Structure 1
């Protein structure tokens, strides 16, 4: 991607931390929570791969093809559960966006991003910008809420903060593709 190296390292750190936190949630949650956290962990670690600075590491084209297959499969998995949860629709859009960016990176000259299909990039950027604003507004604590759940893995505000940071990362990557 065309991300400056310091910004790329920040995206890598953000993706790794978010992905790691989501893995903890995945192994301590139940049913739907595990599925949701697993999809979010995949997005976090996918961000790590996509944000690698091209000045330091050149990701081979077969790796981008593998990323496309993995994210397309994740999108199909999210589609399967989309009627159970609106959040799965978000996972569908996110996995589709990651697959799209993988295709752009696979077809770009010398591993550098290109503009891709500008209307699709713009639509995805608009979606994720709206998602960031919506998620950010939901971070405000509920004053009448009960006692916080025990354990950091089950704190809803941490999950929302993770989703907010991944939405911001998607915006940054879409701007750089």
Structure 2
């Protein structure tokens, strides 16, 4: 996970910015959104910490078991929540990927670079395939959402968007409820996860 310093800092910035936006999303009036945003904020900040170049900061050895326990618990929570919606399965896979990366980073250096008789480990390859598909699918889904969001005020008439979602009130809560921004947030984390898995 310790690639060139410049790309490492870009990854830190992307993950930290995503985590910060997820904190903003936690001000949503919808409990389901708040819960999902909290988990995504935790993941964003944790990924930012993992991406800090090793020349600047090397986490202590006890940090990786803590990562594994925290995201293992988050994965169990996502598994329980998946009973009410399939979208929680993505959180389950993301938490599982965090546990996997923490376990790899806690192991000997040879494991961290994927050097072995079989090349890329099977689990790393499976996660790469999953997140590549997720990034492509989310990116495609984001295009029509942005177009509709841009054309919404023009077609609504009058002080539109007041019936579906309150425009007045706390502007931060309104930003936290925008579905296209939530998708962009997940897309950013999917790209960051891909970058981190490639460097394992």
Q: TM (normalized to structure 2)?
A: 0.81
- TM-score where L is the length of structure 1: 0.91
Q: Does 1:31 align with 2:10?
A: no
Is residue 75–residue 92 contact of structure 1 (8 Å, CA) maintained in 2?
yes
Distance between the aligned counterparts of 2:148 and 2:27, measured in 1? Answer: 30
If you compute each CA radius of gyration, which structure gives the higher value, 1 or 2? 2
Secondary structure at the aligned position of 1:141 is classed as helix
2:157 is matched with none
Q: Distance in 1 between matches of 2:148 and 2:63?
A: 48
Tell me the equivalent position of 2:133. Answer: 130
Q: Does structure 1 conserve the Cα–Cα contact (< 8 Å) formed by 2:27 and 2:176?
A: no
Q: CA deviation at 1:144?
A: 5.5
Structure-2 separation of matches of 1:144 and 1:101: 37
Q: Distance in 2 between matches of 1:144 and 1:50?
A: 36
Counterpart residue number, 2:156: none
Q: Which shows bigger deviation, 39-48 or 143-152? A: 143-152
CA shift, 1:91, in A, is 0.2
What secondary structure does 1:65 align onto?
helix
2:144 corresponds to 1:141:
yes
Per-residue deviation, residues 133-176 of structure 1 (Å, max 9, x unmatched): 01000111345664465432221111111111100000000001
Q: Which runs of 5+ in 1 are unaligned?
A: none
Cα distance, 1:43 vs. partner? Answer: 1.3
More off after superposition, 53-62 vs 21-30: 21-30
Distance 2:102 2:78 in 1: 18
* 1:138 alignment partner, SS class: helix
Secondary structure of 1:55's counterpart equals coil
CA distance in 1, matches of 2:35, 2:188: 19
